[in-house]
Amino acid sequence: MRESFKFILFAVLLVGFFSSCTEDSSSAPEEPVDTFDASVVCPAEGVNAYGEPNRGTFTDARDGQVYKYTTIGNQVWMAENLKFNAPYSLCYDEIEGFCETFGRFYTLHENGEDLSHFDQELLDTICPAGWRVPSVDDWNILANNMGGGGNAISRLYSSSNFGERYKPGSDDCAFNSLPAGYWLKNGDLSSVYIFSSYWTSTAKTAHSSFCSSLNEGGVTFWVNHPKMSIRCVKN
């Protein structure tokens, strides 16, 4: 009798275990649905909040450089990397035409050091009038508008062919993120033709700041590299 009772109890517990597993699996969260629609997020036609066409060009009065721009959500971004010859910046000339395509490399820290306080005057004036260096929050808003994670990166990456190490994106909103990599102290480039690294205006510590890295995992934030690209956002 006791053995029969033990068997029945074991059977009841076993059924309960598998039932709970079934319930847990059925209540597991579903993968988020990708609802990105370029015609809603970044329509090519129409007028943005500044009363300007959603996409177009503007001229930097300082040097006459003409830049493309694009509207994504409520933000207006330059659709090219900055090329202004600012203090401590450099044009990488080891590759012919590199600077024309990818822009210049910059530091925003005092005395051109990679680990120092922000040079506040330089930070405030390095972008054309009416534009600024984006913050971490600005980059996060952009990533969310583009669907987040790897989806955002694919949609932000340039559709151009930069060689076998680069996976072209769909560039749905004409942001045209360029895989310039970043400049090292020894004069070489790292991650060129692989991914993009941009300055932010957000300090990480008293002597460093965040860079925005656009890689396959999404828009991520790391300590700044010695010199990187700048992509400005409208004030």
pLDDT digit string (tens) for 65-84? 999 999 999 999 999 999 99
Diameter of the chain measured on Cα atoms: 96
- Name the residue type at position 101: T
Residue 34 reports pLDDT greater than 50:
yes
For residue 127, give Cα distances in angstroms to 67, 124, 177: 12, 7, 17
Mean pLDDT of the 173-191 span: 96
More confident residue, 118 or 29: 118
> Burial letters for 155-194: b for 16+ Cβ neighbours within 10 Å, e otherwise?
bbbbeeebeeebeebebbbbbbbbbbbbbeeeeebebbbb
Token pair belonging to 83: 């090329």
Instruction: Give how far the C-alpha of residue 6 lies from the chain's centroid of Cα atoms, to the nearest Å.
Output: 61
pLDDT recorded at residue 217:
86
Specify the higher pLDDT residue, 154 or 19. Answer: 154
pLDDT at res. 18: 39
Separation CA 208–CA 205 (nearest Å):
5
Q: Hey, which residues does 205 pair with through a beta bridge?
A: 208
Lowest mean pLDDT among 19-28, 40-49, 119-128: 19-28
* Total-model pTM: 0.86
In the predicted model, what is the mean pLDDT of residues 123-134?
A: 98
In the sheet that holds 55-59, the strands lie side by side as: 55-59, 66-72, 75-78, 233-234, 131-132
Q: With 60 as the cut, is the pLDDT of residue 155 above it?
A: yes
Q: Which residue, 228, 219, 136, is CA-closest to 190?
A: 228
pLDDT at residue 8, rounded to an integer: 40
Strands (E), the chain: 55-59, 66-72, 75-78, 131-132, 182-183, 189-190, 196-205, 208-215, 218-223, 233-234
Distance CA(68)–CA(58), nearest Å, equals 7
| Mean pLDDT, range 106-113, rounded to an integer | 96
pLDDT at 23 over 50: no
